Amino acid sequence: MRWLSLSLLAALLAAPAAAQPDGTALYGQHCAACHGAERLGGRGPALLPESMGRLRPAAAAEVIAKGRPATQMPGFASQLSGSEIEALAAHLFRPAPAGLRWDAAEIETSRQVLVPPEQLPARPVFDADPLNLFLVVETGDHHVTVLDGDRFVPIRRFPTRPALHGGPKFSADGRFTYLMSRDGWVTKYDLYSLQPVAEVRAGINSRNVALSSDGRFVAVANYLPRSLVLLNAGDLSVKRVIPAVGLRGGTTSRVSAVYDARPRRSFVVAMKDTPEVWEVSYDDDAPPVYTGLVHNHEKGMAEGLAASAGLFALRRIAVEEPLDDFMFDPAYRNLLGSAREGGRAVVVNLTVGRPVAEVPLEGLPHLGSGITWMEGGRRLMATPNLKRPEVDVIDMADWSIAARIPTDGPGFFLRSHERTPYAWTDSMMGAPGARDTIQVIDKRSMQVVRRLRPAPGRTAAHVEFTRDGRHALVSVWEDDGAVVVYDTETFEEVTRLPMRRPSGKYNVFNKIALSEGTSH
Ligand code: DHE
């Protein structure tokens, strides 16, 4: 017995160490068909560190093992060992392939015009009010539902690219909408004929899109590659790719977001890594803007004073530290940007091109979800706070804090409408037990006056009003969730529609009329 054990031990010691599973090979075998050989995405989403968001390797391993419900992602637990799954998850967090290019040529190659304009009908193919439609983005199974905002019945439900993010943007007449996925796909969809008409991949990992108020251009903010892409809004062809190279020392930056500043005829751009705010004009006759130093991409170095004028003239506004998340006053004279670490917001005056004030805001205000309203002759601006259980209200005349309204937990979204004295917010960033409540704030008394629980124990978030402000649509933000419609005077439930994690709802009229109670 003793002899056998010793010989077994000797054999074990002599055997080569068990080979580590090869993540690259496993990826090629099991994932590449859907997610692309280079992890750039295909039928499934891109699997690069930039695309993973807040997902950590352990959570990625769990998805590989169990799959994702309601999507085409199967679980691999029965085919792969634990260490193989771990190796595969680690492979996904390796940097993007060296030398990856996604420039004008690659963007153009991805572009498809699906329906030429001359084949589009002159009128809507349905009898609902085309300006009171809602788009409901269902991220649970990557679909959009087009909803009749008077009768609350779906008119069409169509599949989208995986992981749409940010608000869809609408043409001024409300006919076309532009949807963007985190993998950089921009889809132009015709709401009259209810079909996609053009599509392009403007980036590998993108943040959001903006549509110029004259309807000519779509701007796309990219993390990967680090660029701002300007497309023709008509056929989505590339107009210009602007690499996000910083003013000082040629550092590059991820582009956090881009916004249309309608009265200025420009796009305002937030940079994640460089202390600059960009303004890109879409006015053909924009006067020259001068920049102290500018990076010459061909020479790979900084050069002296440069001027640009006319269409796409680029103005850079230096700030002390990168400002990420923006909110504007209605005239687009000032923007309020939050510093990355939170604790304060900075007011940048776009007319003079420099910071002019600071607002002490504890926690992390979510300015992108901010709204404004008039009260007692003052324009107030309110923002949810991602880290504190409060809604912060700021007097835009002198940037003082007008109120801190206590809520049930940190929130993500805030919404109102000109025709209601109430603003509705969530606590979806709060403790699990506190995420199921929508709190109704009276804009006059600045207090929570009502609490609604659309589905007890389940996350409630994101509200959008109908065109007339009489109804509010609330998401039950779960894979088997719902959109719940409330009467905004009685707070009674009117109806509920089952939906797959309805992340956002967008009313065509409120968006094109730039309602002060919604995002733009
Ligand atoms: Fe968003 C809008 C940034 C995480 C759902 N989000 C936006 C916008 C920006 C932004 C800049 C405005 C774009 C626009 O409409 O043009 N979001 C960020 C982040 O930096 C953050 C915190 C981290 C990230 O992963 O990017 C982030 N966002 C999320 C989520 O985790 C949410 C809750 C779920 C999801 O789908 O990813 C989420 N973001 C949304 C939604 C909007 C949005 C639904 C549109 C709101 C609207 O009503 O307009």
For the Cβ of 188 lying below 6 angstroms from any atom of ligand 1, the answer is no
Q: What is the pLDDT of residue 356?
A: 95
Question: What residue owns the CA closest to ligand 1's atom 8?
Answer: 166
The rounded Å distance from CA 366 to ligand 1 centre is 10
The one-character DSSP state at 365 is B
State the distance from the centre of ligand 1 to the C-alpha of 71, rounded, in angstroms: 21
Architecture of domain 361-520: 8 Propeller (2.140)
CATH architecture label of 17-92 = Orthogonal Bundle (1.10)
pLDDT of 56? 86
How far is the centre of ligand 1, averaged over its atoms, from the C-alpha of 142 (Å)? 15
- Of 395, 96, 311, give the one whose Cα is nearest residue 222: 96
Q: In a structure prediction context, what are the per-residue pLDDT tens digits for the chain, which is 520 residues long?
A: 344 455 545 554 555 556 789 999 999 999 999 998 889 888 888 998 888 877 888 899 999 999 987 778 899 999 999 998 999 998 999 988 888 899 999 999 999 999 999 999 999 999 999 999 999 999 999 999 999 999 999 999 999 999 999 999 999 999 999 999 999 999 999 999 999 999 999 999 999 999 999 999 999 999 999 999 999 999 999 999 999 998 766 689 999 999 999 999 999 999 999 999 999 999 999 988 877 666 666 676 666 667 789 999 999 999 999 998 899 999 999 999 998 776 889 999 999 999 999 999 989 999 999 999 999 999 999 999 999 999 999 999 999 999 999 999 999 999 999 999 999 999 999 998 899 999 999 999 999 999 999 999 999 999 999 999 999 999 999 999 999 999 999 999 999 999 999 999 999 999 999 998 887 7
Please report the pLDDT score of residue 302 as a whole number: 63
Distance 465 CA to ligand 1 centre (A): 19
Strand partners, 133: 148
The structure's pTM equals: 0.92
Residues near 174 by beta carbon (within 8 Å), at least 6 away in sequence: 130, 131, 133, 191, 508, 509, 511, 512
Residue nearest atom 37 of ligand 1, based on CA coordinates: 165
Q: Is the CB of 504 under 6 A from ligand 1?
A: yes
Model pLDDT, residue 100: 86
How far apart, in whole angstroms, are the C-alpha atoms of residue 403 and residue 442? 12
CA distance 128 to 153: 10
CB of 139 shorter than 6 A to ligand 1 = yes
Which residue spans within 285-361 are E strands per DSSP? 289-291, 294-296, 301-303, 306-308, 314-318, 323-328, 334-339, 344-349, 354-360
pLDDT of residue 2: 45
User: 128 burial class (0-12, 13-18, 19+ CB within 10 angstroms)?
Assistant: middle
One fold for both 17-92 and 361-520? Answer: no
Question: How many Cβ atoms are within 10 Å of 462's Cβ, its own excluded?
Answer: 26
Cross-strand pairs, 289:
308
Say what the pLDDT of residue 3 is: 43
Map tokens 């009467």 to a residue.
487
Residue 304, pLDDT score? 66
3 state SS for 167-204: CCEECCCCCEEEEEECCCEEEEEECCCCEEEEEEECCC
Ligand 1 centre and the CA of 502: distance in Å? 13
**Domain spans of the chain?**
17-92, 361-520
Ligand 1 atom nearest the C-alpha of 504 is 44
